[in-house]
Amino acid sequence: MKQYNSPSEALEDLKKRGYEADFEPQSDCLYCSNLDLRLYEEEFHVDEVYQFEGNSNAVDNATVYAFTSPTGLKGTAVNGIGTQDSSQL
């Protein structure tokens, strides 16, 4: 697995590798507003996970997920940027 210095660096590389759909974690699913599409836990496979920790503050923590749906749709979701609650996803 690759090493990245920041969530934005990871997202940029993942997009180049075909993970083009941007999803956001919701309470019971991942949602892509551009596609108006919801994926539930049983509808995708997490391919890669990258965790980033801020140097001085827990609110700088983030996790980047790269996943694929059974239909072949590849997407990403970021959890935890700017929040202390990273319980979703």
pLDDT tens, residue by residue, 25-71: 999 999 999 999 999 999 999 999 999 987 655 556 899 999 999 99
- pLDDT reported for residue 56: 55
- pLDDT reported for residue 58: 53
> What strands, in cross-sheet order, belong to the sheet with 45-52?
37-39, 30-32, 21-25, 74-79, 62-68, 45-52
58 vs 41: CA distance, rounded Å: 26
pTM: 0.82
